[in-house]
Chain A
Amino acid sequence: MIYLDNSATTVAFSEVLETYQKTALRYFGNPSSLHGYGSEAEHLLRQARQSIAGILDIKANELIFTSGGTEGNNLAIKGVAYARRRRGNHIITTAVEHPSVLNTCRYLEKNGFEVTYLPVDNDGFVSLQDVKDASREETILVSIMHVNHETGAIQPVEKIGEWLKTREKIRFHVDHVQGAAKVPLHLHNSGIDLCTLSGHKFHGLKGTGMLYIREGVQIEPLLHGGGQEQNLRSGTENLPGIVAFAKALRLAYERYSEAKQALQTHKHELMQALRKREGMLINTPEEGSAPHIINVSISGTRPEIVIQALSKKDIHVSSKSACSARLQTASEVLDAQFGPGERAETGLRFSLGYNTTEVDIQQLLEALDEVVPEIRRVKEVKA
């Protein structure tokens, strides 16, 4: 089996599952309970928080545990919008965000907020100048992803954050779901106020995640209740999930930093090889992209069919974000990058993991050489 859909989700590290199981059995107490089990659970919760804070070089009180990327993005965007609505109603984001950002913004548009969706250039990058030009007196939030989930393009969030430091009224949210453990991002130094992470994208478990909220930044909660997580995310803490998240983050940092060179090499080779093939256009920029994502448009095919055909050979890839893959439309990301047309409709995404090998890449290429001409032939016949 060759799994090249690590941007959709990853297989959990076995150590992470062990941690989950041990925690669920041994430290099942509710961290809010006063008895010994509660107290132990609460202590472990704090240790997990400490451990994560250490890895990300933030303070332990600057992170809120969530159920994953979608919740983190919703909490950050709605949380800031509702906490700051008296100061303004304008939000800036980009046209290439994940659906959990785009659709949250669209929802806010129905509720009295104005949203600017910034364009990207042909390489998929948003520009600092565009952010500057779009910002106005009423702007309260800028939300820009770090690594694009379809093309791997790394947005200049550090530069944008640096400029936003001079605009005190504007909060800066970064969706770091695809970048975490793979592309370094220093939260404290980069002018970032809020940052979303999701556990299952780096070999943690589904249903785990966190939102970084810089000390001093106020947001409104989405969930009201027992006041857990500094009153920002009520609900009994998912302790096994949280501890597993901490474990996954630590291991992912180790393993991806070890695999960094190999990933770069694989990516480079794959891009070189694809470029040589007819009717294949690389949508991932050569410079300034994550080491694990390669996006290519294959003319004369439909991505769903290529995916099916590869899947029969036990090679698993995808087209756009899994969250929108079921909709039979062009990729919004590629559409924003190249405009409507075949290129936006035929994008295929290969996302590698720390354990992807040279052989995996070779087999992928061989399989493509087999299935793509066949699909093209069938399509032509029909036409």
Chain B
Amino acid sequence: MNVDHILVRYSEIALKGKNRATFERTLKGNINRALAPFPQARAKRTTGRLIVDIHNEDAEAIMKKLRHIFGIVSLSYALKTSHELIDIQATALEVMNQNQSAKTFKVNARRSYKSFPIRSQQLNHDVGGYVLKNSEGITVDVHNPDVELLVEVREQGTYISAGKISGPGGLPVGSSGKVMLMLSGGIDSPVSGYLALKRGTQIEAIHFHSPPFTNERAKQKVIDLSRVLADYGGSVRLHVIPFTDLQQYIHEEVAMNYEMTIMRRVMMRISEQVAREQEALAIVNGESLGQVSSQTLESMHTIEEVANTPVLRPLITMDKVEVTDIAKQIGTYETSILPYEDCCTIFLPAESKTKPKREKARFYESFLDMDEKINTAVSNRETFVIDAENRSNEAFAELL
């Protein structure tokens, strides 16, 4: 395929006034960061679009990257040419010829460069007529064409493309502030993080690790999941909280049926504390309203009592199947189902209250002395910055 540019379209409906410039700048920054492996390719802003100049880089590989960038509504491979009608016609024909299977087409010309003398309607005619005359076996269909030839006349030149490839939608990561994602390693929380990214938040992740009760591999799994999320979100800062002490303490001191609730309240407190330090304005988790012990409405009510920060639950209304589908589509599913114990399953008490009460939880906690333990856990946390690019472990890189 012969292309030299990719046109990037984003939704304009939500953009008014000052927001727009910020939005465009953030999106451009995200695109250029994702294109770091392709040093010659760069995104540029023009009115209402971003245009990626491919130079000699691999267009398909670039397209693959762009399809993971939130805020992009659609994309087109394009060939750039001059403002001369004969060039536009010839290029349009070339683009058409690259779509061998197409039987019908139509031309959709836009003229954002108003000094260009030919009006859009006329340009449709001029280009359509030329393509029709110079190809065999194709006809015009204005209602349901196989290929829509998009001709965009802009100040810096004319861009011609065939059809659009859909982008992921949403808002550019970083345009909505920062959140703290509680990342367990299961199927749900990575999907939740993905959806938070989709709405333009930047994410940091927090994970509770209880060695030796949880395996090093459970931690590795969370690192791997963060890496997949980094594919969509640029990079992810991961905080791993040493949780063994607290977990054992709770296990020994709290009545069995409230153990789970208290543990979750403690996790919530720690998450909030880390969120505050990192200037994240909300906590995101993977809970969906359901029958499982900690995900009943009563349970959420009791656990969230300890937080003074919004707790966002992107999956709250979803069925497990819907979540699993997204996990498969974004590439976290395979990692999520690896069978390593995480801190939720290992201390699972024989019996848990599915409808815990705030008063009861407070009552049990009144016998505990956890503040210092919590502070220690927070300050002893391990922090990793995980990039999408840095895929293979340094030591392994030379082997592979």
Contact = CB atoms under 8 A, between A and B. Distances in A.
Contact of B399 (A42, A60, A247): A247
Max count, chain A CB within 10 A of own CB: residue among B216, B217, B334, B396: B396
A59 B333 CA distance: 12
A48 B400 contact: yes
Contacts of A48: 400
Interface string A40-61: 0011101110110000000111
Interface string B377-400: 000000000000001110010011
Contact of A44 (B217, B224, B396): B396
Contacts of B224: 46
A125 B215 CA distance: 54
B19 interface: no
Max count, chain A CB within 10 A of own CB: residue among B216, B391, B392, B399: B399
Given A43-B393, A50-B392, A61-B334, A243 B399 contact: yes
B334 A60 contact: yes
Contact of B392 (A19, A36, A51, A247): A51
Interface in A61-101: 61
B399 A19 contact: yes
Contacts of A379: none
Interface in B231-278: none
Given A47-B393, A50-B391, A51-B392, A247 B400 contact: yes
Contacts of B215: 34, 39
19 contacts: A19-B400, A22-B399, A23-B399, A36-B216, A39-B216, A39-B217, A42-B217, A43-B396, A44-B399, A47-B392, A47-B393, A47-B396, A47-B400, A48-B400, A51-B392, A243-B400, A246-B400, A247-B399, A247-B400
Nearest to A243: B399
B386 to A, nearest CB: 15
A250 interface: yes
B333 to A, nearest CB: 9
B112 interface: no
Interface of B: 215-217, 220, 224, 334, 391-393, 396, 399-400
A259 B399 CA distance: 23
A61 B215 CA distance: 22
Contacts of A51: 392, 400
Nearest to B64: A57
Contacts of B334: 59-61
A23 B215 CA distance: 23
Contact of A250 (B391, B393, B400): B400
Contacts of A246: 400
A48 B217 CA distance: 17
Nearest to A51: B400
B400 A39 contact: no
Contacts of B217: 39, 42-43
- 8 A-B pairs with least C-beta separation: A51-B400, A47-B396, A19-B399, A47-B392, A61-B334, A39-B217, A39-B216, A246-B400
A228 to B, nearest CB: 13
A61 B399 CA distance: 21
Nearest to B334: A61
Nearest to B400: A51
A214 B346 CA distance: 34
Interface in A314-366: none
Contacts of B216: 36, 39
B196 to A, nearest CB: 25
Nearest to A246: B400
Given A34-B215, A47-B392, A61-B334, A39 B220 contact: yes
Nearest to B328: A215
Given A34-B215, A46-B224, A47-B393, 18 more contacts: A19-B400, A22-B399, A42-B217, A43-B217, A43-B396, A44-B399, A48-B400, A50-B391, A50-B392, A51-B392, A51-B400, A60-B334, A61-B334, A243-B399, A246-B400, A247-B399, A247-B400, A250-B400
Contacts of A36: 216
A13 to B, nearest CB: 13
Contacts of A19: 399-400
Max count, chain B CB within 10 A of own CB: residue among A39, A59, A247: A39
Interface string A15-49: 00001001100000000001010010011101110
Nearest to B61: A57
A47 B334 CA distance: 14
Max count, chain B CB within 10 A of own CB: residue among A43, A44, A61, A243: A43
Contacts of A43: 217, 220, 393, 396
A190 B224 CA distance: 30
Contacts of A46: 224
Contacts of B220: 39, 43
A51 B391 CA distance: 9
Interface string A254-272: 0000000000000000000
A243 B396 CA distance: 10
Contacts of B399: 19, 22-23, 44, 243, 247
A246 B396 CA distance: 12
Contacts of A50: 391-392
Contacts of A61: 334
Interface string A275-290: 0000000000000000
